[in-house]
Structure 1
Amino acid sequence: MLPRRDAGISVPAMDGVLKPNSRLEDAPCILKVAGLDDVAPVASGLVLSAGSSLVAFPVPSGGGDAETISTFEGTIGFLAVLDDGRYAVGVTGQGVYLGLPGDFRLIEFAAELSACMTAATQAADGRLAICIGSRRNTASEWKRDLMEKGRSGCLCLLDLDTGSTDIVAEDLAFPYGVAALADGRLAVAESWRHRIVAIDTASGKRAVLLEDLPAYPSRLSPALDGGYWLTLFAPRRQLFEFVLREDGFRNEMLKTVDPEEWVGPSLSASTRYDHPLQQGAVRQMGILKPWAPSSSYGLVVRCDENMRPVESLHSRADGALHGMTGICETKDGVFAVARGAGKLVRFTGNSAGRAAIEVQS
């Protein structure tokens, strides 16, 4: 009597380790820049991507202001720091820039690979593992890719010396995050399948590490005491699942409705007066309830070495830190990017599975 798995519209409840709280919302904002998207640690502090710019930001304890250190001709799709200290910057429509500010060299990519680069990390063999979210849509068209049930993403390995590229996994549903596992495999976040999979770069074999997430996963980053930090950029909702199931309605919506009006997840809450309110379930008497089924949400999860969630930090429906897309941990704390708000926040984690929000004076 129960619906088949591919026909149901139920969404996993946020409960247990994922029980909603306000810990992410309460984290202090230490930087606000329009277009913030990714973050990585460097010797002098942090480097961030914002639109077409690289921004250097000394850790708060060191003082100093954010400074633009490089500007590219296209939007930055990913940012990674290599073991030797060089930067790897994926620029939409071009390829991968390697080097340091003022001394980059470009490794060009084919158009179908460079249009939607989403994340990268250095693999165990020294090559750069790059997630290509889609080979049909650009990175800015991520919502279209979801509504088209996109499965054209892939995982590439780039040889940093020769510039050759090997595709080791195809038919991925918008891979948006990648991290190296202890056994040499790569953990990849498949957004539209709301799961994390381990991919063997030699054989291409896949194993599911974490599945049925209540939100769409994005970037991964190692935690200092073992395990991984995971950002999730938008929530799953029953209404969205229903639209994805109803092909006729969805295809008509894609053809005739402005993308800004599509029923689907968002990186930030809408401030438009005509935004659909789902018959009062989102806003009642002018008040946005924290438990409302909003189109945007803020969620960061810490997983153990086996990719099992052990703690979470939330910015609920009535919060402002939505659309989490970047995260890294240093000795100075955990730094997370809320792309929907253009903010960088800091909190501290511990091995007990809790995050104590740092109170700044």
Structure 2
Amino acid sequence: MFGRRAEAQPSFPLLDGPLRPNDALEEAEAIPVAEPHDMCIAADGSLLVSSGASLLRMNDWGDGGPVRVAEFGGAVTALACRDDGLAAVGIEGEGVKVLDADFAVHDGLYETDTRPTGTTALVFASNGDLLAADAGRDGGAYPYTRELFADSGGGRILRISENGTTTTVASQLRCPHGMVETSAGSLVISECWASGLRTTGPEAGFNELPGNPGRIHRRQSGGYLLACLSRRDPLIDFIRTEEAFAARMMAEIEPEYWVAPRLSAQADYRYPVQSGATRLFGETKPWAPSLSYGLVVLLDTDFQPGASLHSRANGTRHGITTAVEWRGGIVALSRGSGELLRVKGEHP
């Protein structure tokens, strides 16, 4: 008989109210980008986007697409831009590097011996320090799904000063994937596999999100944009309580076929979802129990949802890791489809 974890899982929230499904992401304008991970807005207003081991730059949405400005020895997994033109990049297998305004490596700044093993997000704090989200233990390939079934969180947030002094802001996190500094100076952290937001200040954190959150960014008009890698599923939450079953699944089955969130909407008979629940007359149903999904949540200044953008189960623009406001619209990055998505217009 399979054993069950003693810890209780949070109640399962529904996609309703301001989170009611729509097709905003599926109908958005798109620009293809190979192997995207993250993006940030540079000091000159251009958009920097990671593409595999390359760093791309785009001046405006309609200027012909992004162009390569730098190349590295590993995949660029996280980006952050400083107001004076500096940029920080997280590089798989190499840690964090800082670039000058010409995209050359700037030696001597933020160099630390405490190298993150899996950098998922970078943020320049108001005091000039560099904050790095580290997925922690060797959890396998991104998005570190093995951490989803671990007994405890192995992620952490590092604070790195310009001279390299490094301290740990938070630890034992379940795959921290984003963070933002509030006007009060506290830090709000998105925990991907805890399906919630944790705070170091007086703000109320919560773990009742309907998705697995990625990065979080400020909105120009106030509030925040929260990208979600996938939608939560009650079957996944149940299996997390079945420790022996989860251990056997990870030992005997390839990771891409685990009962776990996925970044892309791909059809394969080996996936652990019943076809009758997914397809009707040969077509995927929008409300199907898909293990991948596209979701951006628009939060107010108190981190409460006010609206949302979706690519539903029958869409392809899933695995949203980042969303920012840029050039009069919301630009989201879809890992599942390998695209930059632009949703124009006013949003509450």
TM (norm. structure 1) is: 0.88
CA distance in 1, matches of 2:124, 2:164: 14
CA distance in 1, matches of 2:301, 2:178: 16
Question: Structure 1 151/94 Cα, relative in aligned 2: closer, same or farther at 3 Å?
Answer: same
Shift, 1:343, TM fit: 0.4
Q: Which runs of 5+ in 1 are unaligned?
A: 201-205, 354-361
Counterpart of 1:121 in structure 2: which amino acid?
V
Query: Which position in structure 1 is the counterpart of 2:154?
Result: 152
Residue 280 (structure 1) aligned with residue 276 (structure 2): yes
Secondary structure of the residue aligned to 1:242 is helix
CA distance in 1, matches of 2:6, 2:126: 36
Question: Structure 1 108/47 Cα, relative in aligned 2: closer, same or farther at 3 Å?
Answer: same
> What is the CA deviation profile of residues 57-84 of structure 1, one whole-angstrom value per residue up to 9, with x for unaligned ones?
12125x2332111111111121000121
Residue 174 (structure 1) aligned with residue 170 (structure 2): no
Counterpart of 2:99 in structure 1: which amino acid?
G
Shift, 1:148, TM fit: 2.1
Residue 184 (structure 1) aligned with residue 185 (structure 2): yes
Shift, 1:5, TM fit: 10
Counterpart of 2:278 in structure 1: which amino acid?
V
Residue 82 (structure 1) aligned with residue 78 (structure 2): no
Contact 2:39–2:78 at 8 Å: present in 1 too? no
Secondary structure of the residue aligned to 1:24 is coil
Secondary structure of the residue aligned to 2:229 is strand
Query: Which position in structure 1 is the counterpart of 2:24?
Result: 23
> What is the CA deviation profile of residues 25-78 of structure 1, one whole-angstrom value per residue up to 9, with x for unaligned ones?
11111x1011112111122521101111101112125x2332111111111121
What is the 5 A alignment of 1:255-274?
255-274=251-270
Counterpart of 1:143 in structure 2: which amino acid?
T
Query: Which position in structure 1 is the counterpart of 2:117?
Result: 115
What is the 5 A alignment of 1:173-252?
173-200=174-201, 208-252=204-248
- Residues 327-336 or 226-235, more deviating: 327-336
TM (norm. structure 2) is: 0.91
CA distance in 1, matches of 2:336, 2:308: 19
Counterpart of 2:217 in structure 1: which amino acid?
S
CA distance in 2, matches of 1:44, 1:312: 25
Counterpart of 1:320 in structure 2: which amino acid?
T
> What is the CA deviation profile of residues 261-287 of structure 1, one whole-angstrom value per residue up to 9, with x for unaligned ones?
211110011232433332621123422
Counterpart of 1:120 in structure 2: which amino acid?
L
Give me the CA root mean square deviation. 2.1
> What is the CA deviation profile of residues 85-104 of structure 1, one whole-angstrom value per residue up to 9, with x for unaligned ones?
11110112212111234421
Q: How many residues align?
A: 340
- Residues 255-264 or 294-303, more deviating: 255-264
Secondary structure of the residue aligned to 1:105 is coil
- Residues 222-231 or 165-174, more deviating: 165-174
Secondary structure of the residue aligned to 1:114 is coil
Counterpart of 2:22 in structure 1: which amino acid?
N
Shift, 1:190, TM fit: 1.0
Query: Which position in structure 2 is the counterpart of 1:37?
Result: 37
Contact 2:193–2:212 at 8 Å: present in 1 too? yes
CA distance in 1, matches of 2:154, 2:189: 15
Give the % identical residues.
35
CA distance in 1, matches of 2:118, 2:53: 14
Residue 135 (structure 1) aligned with residue 137 (structure 2): yes
CA distance in 1, matches of 2:143, 2:329: 33
Question: Structure 1 8/98 Cα, relative in aligned 2: closer, same or farther at 3 Å?
Answer: closer
Contact 1:253–1:262 at 8 Å: present in 2 too? yes
> What is the CA deviation profile of residues 199-237 of structure 1, one whole-angstrom value per residue up to 9, with x for unaligned ones?
24xxxxx75434300110010111010010000001111
Secondary structure of the residue aligned to 1:89 is strand
Q: Which runs of 5+ in 2 are unaligned?
A: none
Shift, 1:17, TM fit: 0.6
Question: Structure 1 64/288 Cα, relative in aligned 2: closer, same or farther at 3 Å?
Answer: closer
Query: Which position in structure 2 is the counterpart of 1:95?
Result: 95
